[in-house]
Structure 1
Amino acid sequence: MDLQQMRYAVALAETRNFTRAAERCSVVQSSLSHRIAGLERELGVKLFARSSRRVEPTSAGEAFLAAARECLAAADRAAVDAAEAAGVVRGRLAVGVIVTTAAVDVPELLQRYRARHPDVRVVLRSERSDRLVAAIRDGDLDIAFLGLPEDEPPSGVRTLVLDRDRHVLVVPAGHRLAGAGRVTLREIAGETFVDFVAGTPARAQSDRAFAAAGLAR
């Protein structure tokens, strides 16, 4: 058993999918599957229950993952401590982003960071805002760029407002409201929307605006 196998197992548990876990670990899927299978043989237990649609940790897997995360965190701390003693910045920076991040040029920012700290391993994770907040609380992420209602800051984490976005309405050129400079929520309440999935933070902002106006979508 080695640290890389532990990282693969943790990635698989968090993504519930071999393909996404392999992408996160920057390896081919067959290699990750082979290492996970080898780990299970070595331990003599099944760590994951596999189906055609999803992968779930077994009870033995949950117990292993808790210890594996502790081992990985300890290994990261050991590397950082040794590097700091030698005057080198080293370690792991886990960054979360939403796919619609616009306030920050994340690729350019990470490029500059890597140029300044080449010995830091940067891990990027794309997810919806509420799940990124939960990952920060759990210690799985160090920082995240996300979008949330400003009047509802998340608890248990520190936040900094980088920018404010305004919601705009986009309609086809032939739509009845195409030439309008401004429209009210009442005018569009009955329209069929292409929108974020219900229950996501981005969708909640527009849903809350309609509800505050006494309108149903």
Structure 2
Amino acid sequence: MDLQHIRAFVAIAREGNLTRAAQCLHLTQPAVSLQIKGLEESLKVALFDRTSRGLKISASGAVLLPLAEKILASIGEFEGRAGHMQSDVSGRLTMGTVLTPETIRLGQALQHLVERYPRVQTVLRHGMSGWVLSQVRSGALDAGYYLGPRNDEVDADDILALRLTSFTYYVMAPKGWRDRVKGKGWAEIAALPWIWTPPHSTHHRMLVRKFSQAGVKPHIVAQVDLEASMLGLVKSGVGLTLARDSVALKTAQTEGTVVVRKLTTSADLSFITQAHRAEDGPVMAAFAAVRSAFA
């Protein structure tokens, strides 16, 4: 039984007219007729008598109408209670962010928080994924975004992780390096100059895993902690690095850098908190907001 069918039944009974009922429901007249027909077929009861003047509630319909109205009233109470529970959630939420606001859909998540949980005060702290994880573990952050290789530290029992999406990363080389990287695997490409990142960064963890699997150590010529600096050094011809597919392809188009499509790795974007804090009001609100942003 469809709730919309019950709403159509009650609307027609109250209005006494199919056209006015359709207007109240913001539907077309044929759509409401189909809903009533579907409800009557599922119940095997004629709810209305068809007359030359239109629909008139039948004896059976008159008996069922109070029950249908009670169902709709209960639904309204259910939604009202749920809304009241949301508005009762209050407190301070300190949340860690990574990457860019657009990539993690931060704007959509915060809009959901403000609209549904107006009494939750959100404080944002930006940093690398490893830093966010350590701050969540220590309790300095209530929750946060985390980007890391699959089967990473967020799979530990003390962390609750909501996986949101995945990103593919390409090896990116300076302009004119196509012949230097062509046909090379991870073991061979390790000998070329690499731009490295700190241990807290996702790039660091992904590259360490790849080179460890290949049994080699990379030739590191520089280390930076900002994506913009990393890309700038690649464009300047200093060395290789990893970049998200969208960033790598855009830079290749605009700057002529080389994307090594054969050498890829991937990372999952998750939203995390301490496992024992899953029922905290502000933390639950944050998870609901992030889940809505990525729905």
Q: TM-score, normalised by structure 1?
A: 0.51
Partner of 1:17: none
Q: CA RMSD in A?
A: 3.0
What CA deviation, in whole Å up to 9, does each residue of 1:149-206 have, x standing for no partner? 21223331111222222220122331134895x6421342122222322464430221
Partners in 1 of 2:103 and 2:185 — Cα distance? 26
What CA deviation, in whole Å up to 9, does each residue of 1:103-142 have, x standing for no partner? 5211232123213322221110112222222222232222
Provide closer, same or farther for how the CA distance between residues 177 and 93 of structure 1 changes in structure 2, counting only shifts above 3 A. farther
Partner of 1:174: 176
Bigger drift between 136-145 and 93-102 goes to: 93-102
What CA deviation, in whole Å up to 9, does each residue of 1:54-112 have, x standing for no partner? xxxxxxxxxxxxxxxxxxxxxxxxxxxxxx89x53321121111235775211232123
Provide closer, same or farther for how the CA distance between residues 178 and 189 of structure 1 changes in structure 2, counting only shifts above 3 A. closer
Partners in 2 of 1:178 and 1:114 — Cα distance? 51
Q: TM-score, normalised by structure 2?
A: 0.39
CA contact (8 A) 1:195 1:203 kept: yes
Query: Greater relative contact order (Cα 8 A, min sep 6): structure 1 or 2?
Result: 2
State the secondary structure of the residue aligned to 1:109. Answer: helix
Partners in 2 of 1:170 and 1:124 — Cα distance? 31
Structure 1 or 2: more strand by fraction: 2
Partners in 1 of 2:132 and 2:168 — Cα distance? 22
1:164 equivalent among 158, 163, 166: 166
Please say if 1:185 is aligned against 2:183. no
Partners in 1 of 2:144 and 2:202 — Cα distance? 15
Count the aligned residue pairs.
133
- Give matches, 1:26-105, under 5 Å: 88-99=88-99, 104-105=104-105
- Stretches of structure 2 that go unaligned for 5 or more consecutive residues are 1-83, 219-295
Partners in 1 of 2:134 and 2:199 — Cα distance? 19
Partners in 2 of 1:161 and 1:210 — Cα distance? 26
Partner of 1:215: 216
Structure 1 or 2: more helix by fraction: 2
